[in-house]
Amino acid sequence: MENKRVLVDTSILIDFFRKEDKSKSLLYKIQRTHKILISTISEFEFMAGVKEDHVKSIKYFFEKIGIISFDSSAALIASSIYRNLKTKNQLIEFRDIFIAATAIAHDIPVLTLNMNHFERVEHLKLLALNLFT
């Protein structure tokens, strides 16, 4: 595996865990060529929706991949993204802003099934879905 990193958003995690055949998920396909990372925001989003009897196994799964914290640098970038999108009347969900800001702060591209929102964020590198389908 090359040393390429990718920040996957929550939609990619949901897709992986919902699919019966994991090999058909984007997460499975991309892990062959990229180091998988998630943000603490995605960790929160996902864990908030997990059934109690799955918490332990999901926590174990998250321990095996990298988790990047939403820090002060990301917060400053997020505030800039928010102001920019608000000026254009194109606001997106705060959590998506935080994920995008984390990716920009760490210079990591994002893989998402929610391209419509993330495409609005300037300076955010997005991986094309068609590379993995």
Task: Show Cβ contacts of residue 132 under 8 Å, excluding neighbours closer than 6 positions.
Answer: 26, 29, 30, 111
Confidence of residue 1 (pLDDT cuts 50, 70, 90): very low
Spatial strand order of the sheet with 5-8 comes to 66-68, 35-39, 5-8, 110-111
Query: And the tokens for 53?
Result: 């009897």
pLDDT of 89 strictly over 90:
yes
Domain 5-131 sits in CATH at: 3.40.50.1010
pLDDT of 109 strictly over 60:
yes
Percent of the chain with pLDDT over 90: 90
Q: String of b and e for 23-56 (b: at least 16 CB within 10 Å)?
A: eebbbebbbeebebbbbbbbbebbeeeeeeeeee
pLDDT of 33 strictly over 70:
yes
pLDDT of 81 strictly over 60:
yes
Residue 132: per-residue pLDDT:
66
How far apart, in whole angstroms, are the C-alpha atoms of residue 94 and residue 86? 12
Short-list 72, 12, 18, CA closest to 36: 12
Say which residue the tokens 């998630």 belong to.
38
Short-list 42, 60, 12, CA closest to 102: 42
Residue 79: per-residue pLDDT:
98
Q: What are phi and psi of 3, to 5 degrees?
A: -90, 35
Note the pTM of the prediction, 2 decimals: 0.91
Residue 72: per-residue pLDDT:
98
Task: Show Cβ contacts of residue 95 under 8 Å, excluding neighbours closer than 6 positions.
Answer: 10, 41, 44, 45
Give me the residue spans of the domains in the chain: 5-131
Residue 128: per-residue pLDDT:
81
How far apart, in whole angstroms, are the C-alpha atoms of residue 86 and residue 34? 33
